[in-house]
C-alpha cells in the first residue's frame, strides 16, 4: 500500500489537463475494482449456498457484500471529489454513475434484508438470491461506460491502455495493493462471521 501511495502521488506524472486532482484516480479506480470483485464474490457465495446449503457460504457472501458496500461508498465519495473541480459539479446523472448508484443501492438493500430478517433460516436463501440478481447490474455499469456516452474516460480498451507508462505502472501497483487489502479484510470479516454463527448456535442450545 505504501508503494501504491508513492506511485500515485510521487512517481506518476501529472496529467496535463486535470492537473494534480487526477491523482485521485489511482485510488478511485482500484476502489471500484474491489467493489466489483466483492460483489462478484458475494454472487458466487450465494450460488454455492443455494447449491450446498452450507452456512459457511452464507457467511462468505455476507462478508463480501459488506466490504463491497464499503468500497463502493468510497468510490462514490472519491468520484464526487474528483468530479467537482473537473466537471464543475459533485454529481451528474451520467449513465455510468446512475447504474453504479443502483448497484450500491441493491447491496445496501441486501445488507438491510439480512439485518431485518434476524436469524430466520429463510434469510440466507433470500440473501443468496438477492446477491445473485444484484450482480447483474455490474455488466450494466461496464456497458454504460463504453456505449452510453459516459463522461468518465475509458482507460482500458482491446488495443491499449490509455495511460502514460508511469501512470500505468502506478495504477498496476495500486490494483495489486488494494486487491491484497481486500483479501485481508475478507478473511478477517469471514472469521468474525463464523464466530458469530458459533455464538448464535451456543445461545440456541442454552435457550
**What is the pTM for the complete model shown?**
0.85
Are 148 and 165 in contact by the 8 Å Cβ rule? The answer is no
3-state helix, strand, coil in the chain (%, to 5): 80, 0, 20
Residue 15 β-bridge partners: 19
CA-based nearest residue to 164, from 26, 32, 6, 30: 26
Q: Is residue 38 within 8 Å of 60, Cβ to Cβ?
A: no
User: Which grid cell is 126?
Assistant: 433470500
**pLDDT tens for each residue of 17-51:** 788 888 888 899 999 999 999 999 999 999 999 99
Span of 41-55, 147-161, 183-197 with lowest mean pLDDT = 147-161
Query: Does the pLDDT at position 207 exceed 60?
Result: no
Q: Would you tell me how many other CB atoms lie within 10 Å of the CB of residue 19?
A: 11
Contacts of 134 (CB under 8 A, 6+ apart): 39, 43, 103, 106, 107, 110
Nearest to 5 by CA among 194, 149, 176: 176
Segment 58-90, tens digit of pLDDT: 999 999 999 999 999 999 999 888 888 877 888
Taking the domains of the chain in order of start, what are their residue ranges? 23-153+164-201
- Whether residue 167 has pLDDT greater than 90: no
C-alpha cell at 18: 486535470
Amino acid at each position: 500500500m505504501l508503494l501504491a501511495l508513492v506511485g500515485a502521488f510521487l512517481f506518476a506524472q501529472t496529467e496535463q489537463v486535470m492537473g494534480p486532482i487526477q491523482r485521485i484516480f489511482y485510488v478511485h479506480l482500484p476502489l471500484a475494482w474491489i467493489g466489483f470483485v466483492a460483489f462478484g464474490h458475494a454472487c458466487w457465495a450465494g450460488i454455492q449456498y443455494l447449491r450446498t446449503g452450507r452456512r459457511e457460504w452464507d457467511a462468505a457472501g455476507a462478508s463480501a457484500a459488506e466490504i463491497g458496500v464499503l468500497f463502493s461508498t468510497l468510490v462514490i465519495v472519491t468520484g464526487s471529489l474528483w468530479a467537482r473541480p473537473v466537471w464543475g459539479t459533485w454529481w451528474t446523472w451520467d449513465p455510468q454513475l446512475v447504474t453504479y448508484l443502483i448497484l450500491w443501492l441493491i447491496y445496501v438493500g441486501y445488507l438491510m434484508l439480512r439485518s431485518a430478517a434476524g436469524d430466520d433460516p429463510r434469510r440466507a436463501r433470500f440473501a443468496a438470491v438477492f446477491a445473485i440478481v444484484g450482480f447483474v447490474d455490474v455488466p450494466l455499469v461496464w456497458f454504460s461506460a463504453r456505449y452510453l456516452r459516459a463522461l468518465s474516460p475509458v482507460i482500458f480498451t482491446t488495443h491499449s491502455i490509455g495511460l502514460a507508462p508511469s501512470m500505468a505502472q502506478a495504477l498496476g501497483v495500486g490494483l495489486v495493493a488494494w486487491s491484497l487489502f481486500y483479501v485481508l479484510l475478507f478473511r478477517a470479516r469471514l472469521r468474525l462471521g463464523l464466530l458469530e454463527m458459533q455464538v448464535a448456535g451456543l445461545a440456541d442450545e442454552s435457550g
